[in-house]
Structure 1
């Protein structure tokens, strides 16, 4: 375990998704930004349950008491993320947006992939996706557009972002401890990045088609507006991919735990 790696505390959250308070386009009154964010939120619950299964598969092989404790924290945090994001799905139902068919396709693909891959490859995919979600989390602290979110949804996203930073190295340390190597984790990242981009886009299209229609020109215009404001997640992902390709890579190479500490201190939730 890296000396910098904390034991992730499990915080019992209960966000107030008052259906009368959170507007339909809760992110800057912008339907593209809102539905893009909603689409990512749709991926989290089932995706994080996959992460948990992948890590737990190897839990009995772990010898380090410290790593076992971090795994317990990781499992608890991921369970809370899934629960709170699923509760937020009620906002989509309120607006007459159907998500069941998308979730069924997504979950079926996840299960198909998991069943046909080795446990070690599933863990390698988890490591890759955890690196991407930690990158997304850290980027949230610097993205000027975050201030446009409705307060409840802002709190949901920042809590999740901070906890992704807190447990960013757990799956990776499990992977290394059970003999995972460089070649597999690089192949897994190539798969994981494509998987995330494809399903994120499919989710966004599914939601937008029920909310005024999907128009690629409108999406491109939104991307230009985002870049003009200094929001550039694609660049953050490019840097994350480049760092992951280093044979010596470790998630703790990025010294950003202080972002999570500072955030939770500011909201009085540093501990569980």
Structure 2
């Protein structure tokens, strides 16, 4: 059973929400008819440490932001992202309780963001102090690029939920994907606007935009592969790229052509994520899909 709980009023048009999901009946194969694609969905539960990483960076940037509307949106963004992460963690804990080993993947993944893309203690060294703000801006550019990728995935989920249903998606997983996707679309402008206020350098946005695409197609397939190698039903395993292309042809994962087109939009000098969707239409269209939606009334708060 899925329950959506309305949260306290927020001084932002972005409304953090909580969702309770019952994972007790969720199988290892999130998509019964497409187990390989299902493991790509399972891998999403492993990647959510990045959402805590976003929150850490935003907390560092908050004192530098003068636009109080953006400050309110940043705080709502952080609440949404932290809730997303905790909810996905519930799903991965359920899979781990069923015997799936996840710790070795998480150790490498979290090390990458906490150490390689961490603070590096620049504030401790006076001669490196000028680099502290520069390094924060670079990571905010990474955040903007990664949010662009999650926006792409969110739009794909909402436009292709029927294909996921035909592939036998677990109901709790589908509820999670729709709820998460709606909120990703709702806060799609925030990371981009924060980066623009802190730096806005186009060359940096493009540079890190390319690298975030590399990050995505390294860690996401690696996470899916981590599940596949532990799945005894998968006797014949394809390479990571072959697996992805196979699932994309089936329509159970986004195709690379649409991803490429979406990515190229981000490279344009006049790009802004507000043009990618209309928030009110998305919420109005999809709120009824989730159970007990009558208890949840997303609204703009003055």
Supply the distance in 2 between the matched residues of 1:231 and 1:80 (Cα, whole angstroms).
24
Gaps of 5+ in 1: 1-5
State the partner residue of 1:182: 202
RMSD of aligned alpha carbons: 2.2
1:245 is matched with which residue? 267
Equivalenced residue count is 264
Alpha-carbon shift at residue 262 of structure 1 (Å):
2.0
Q: Which structure would you say has the larger Rg?
A: 2
- In the alignment, which of 239, 260, 268 is matched to residue 283 of structure 2? 260
Partner of 1:271: 298
Corresponding residue for residue 129 of structure 2: none
List gaps (5 residues or longer) in structure 2.
1-11, 121-133
In 2, Cα distance between equivalents of 1:230 and 1:203: 17
Q: Which residue of 1 aligns with 2:16?
A: 10
Range moving further from structure 2, 122-131 or 177-186: 177-186
- Spell out the pairing of 1:184-199 with structure 2 (5 A cutoff): 184-199=204-219
Q: Which residue of 1 aligns with 2:116?
A: 113
Q: Aligned equivalents of 1:90 and 1:228: distance in 2?
A: 29
Q: Secondary structure at the match of 1:155?
A: helix
Distance 1:271 1:225, change over 3 A: closer
The TM-score with structure 1 as length reference comes to 0.89
Residue among 159, 172, 192 paired with 1:142? 159
Tell whether 2:44 aligns with 1:40: yes
| CA positional deviation for 1:198 | 0.4
**Residue 67 and residue 198 in structure 1: after superposition, are their counterparts in 2 closer, same or farther (change >3 A)?**
same
Counterpart residue number, 2:127 = none
Deviations 1:217-239 (A, max 9, x none): 69747744642548634233212
Instruction: Using the TM superposition, name which of 152-161 and 253-262 deviates more.
Output: 253-262
Q: Deviations over 1:38-70 (max 9, x none)?
A: 1122102x1101111222211111111211111
Q: Once the 2 structures are TM-superposed, how far is the Cα of residue 204 of structure 1 from its aligned partner?
A: 1.3
| Aligned pairs (5 A) from 1:73-152 | 73-115=76-118, 118-143=135-160, 144-147=162-165, 148-152=168-172
- Of the structure 1 ranges 178-187 and 107-116, higher mean CA displacement relative to structure 2 is found in 107-116
Rounded to whole Å, the distance in 1 between the matches of 2:289 and 2:254 is: 25
TM-score (norm 2): 0.81
Q: Is the 8 A contact 1:17 1:91 kept in 2?
A: yes
CA shift, 1:203, in A, is 0.9
Relative to structure 1, the CA distance from residue 118 to residue 211 in structure 2 (aligned partners, 3 Å threshold; closer, same or farther) is same
Deviation track 1:86-118 (CA, whole Å, cap 9, x = no partner) reads: 011123223311000100110001112223581
Partner residue of 1:205 out of 214, 219, 225: 225
Tell me the CA shift for residue 180 of structure 1: 2.3
Greater shift, 216-225 or 228-237, is seen at: 216-225
Once the two structures are TM-superposed, the CA of residue 149 in structure 1 deviates from its matched residue by: 1.1
User: In structure 2, do the counterparts of structure 1 residues 160 and 233 end up closer, same or farther at CA, with 3 Å as the change threshold?
Assistant: farther
Structure 1's 265 and 65: CA in aligned 2 closer, same or farther, altered over 3 A? Answer: farther
Deviations 1:99-149 (A, max 9, x none): 001001100011122235810010000000001101100111112422231
Give the match for residue 235 of structure 1: 257
Q: For residues 207 and 132 of structure 1, what CA distance do their matches in structure 2 show?
A: 22
